[in-house]
Amino acid sequence: MKKKVLITGASSGIGQAAARLFGANGYALTITGRRIDLLESLNQELSTMPCGPATLLHFDVRNPEDVQANLAGQLFDIAILNAGLARGLGPLHEGEFSDWQEMLDTNVSGLAYTAKYVAAEMVKAQQGHLIFMGSTAAKMAYPNGAVYCASKMAVQGIADAMRLELLPHHVKVSAIHPGMVADTEFSTVRFHGDSERASTVYNGFSALTAADVAEVLYFMATCPPHVNLSDVVLTPAAQADSRMTHRQ
C-alpha cells in the first residue's frame, strides 16, 4: 500500500518540487494550495507518474474552519507543512501592518492549524512524520526582516515543542531550514510582484534550487523508522548563514 503524503503550499516552489519527487517515487499525494489552477496543472504531471493523480485540496491555511473542513479525520504517513511566505523588506519602524499580519497568519497560525489536525490523526494511529518548513532566519535574525524572522523562529519553537509532545506517540517531528533558494516565488512575493528586484537577490552566486530542498526532504522522510533528522539547516555553499553570502 502506498504511503500517504500531504504537502501544503504545493502550487509552486519547494512544495511543487517535493510533490514531483515524492510522486516519481510512487507515494500517494495530497496537495494543497490557494491557486487551484496551478494545483491542477501540477496534477496533470503527477497523473503520468508512479503516484497517479493526487488529491487536490483548495483552501487557505489562514482560515481555521477551512483547515478543519479539509484535514480533520485524514491520516497521512508524512506531512510536509510547507505553506509560507515573506512580505516586505525594511526596518520594522517602516513596516506595513498588512505585511506583518499576512506573514504571521500564514507562517505561524496557519502552520499551527494544519499541524493540529494532522497530528491528531497521527496520535490516534501511533505513527507518522511531521516535517516543518523553517528557514535560516529561524536560526539567526537579519536586519529588515524582523517579523519574517520572528515567524520562522516560531516555526522552530512549534517543531521543537511538538517533538517533545509527540515522542510518546511514535510520531517523528522534523524541521528543515533552507537558505537562499532561487527558483521559487519567495522574493517576488516579498517584493509584491516586483520580479526585476527579486531577480537581483540571487546575483553573483549559485543559490539552492527547489529541487535541492526536495531531495533533502525526501531523504528526511525515508530514513529508517528508528532515525529522525530532527533539525536540518541547508544552505548553498556560498551562504554561511542568514546574513552572509560570498558573491563573485
Q: Dihedrals φ, ψ of 31, to 5°?
A: -120, 140
Q: How far apart are CA 237 and CA 52, in angstroms?
A: 36
DSSP 8-state symbol, 15? H
Q: Quick one: DSSP state of residue 35?
A: -
What span, in angstroms and rounded, lies between the C-alpha atoms of 5 and 150? 28
Q: Return the active site residues.
A: 148
- Rounded to the nearest 5 degrees, what angle is found at the Cα of 20, between the Cα atoms of 18 and 22? 65
What are the pLDDT tens digits along the chain (248 aa)? 789 999 999 999 999 999 999 999 999 999 999 999 999 999 999 999 999 999 999 999 999 999 999 999 999 999 999 999 999 999 999 999 999 999 999 999 999 999 999 999 999 999 999 999 999 999 999 999 999 999 999 999 999 999 999 999 999 999 999 999 998 888 889 989 888 888 889 999 999 999 999 999 999 999 999 999 999 999 999 999 999 999 98
How many H-runs (helices) and E-runs (strands) does the chain carry? 9, 7
End-to-end CA distance of the chain: 49
Neighbours of 69 (CB within 10 A): 12
Supply the pTM of this predicted model.
Answer: 0.96
- Candidates 122, 115, 156, 124; CA nearest to 139 is 156
- Domains, the chain: 4-234 (3.40.50.720)
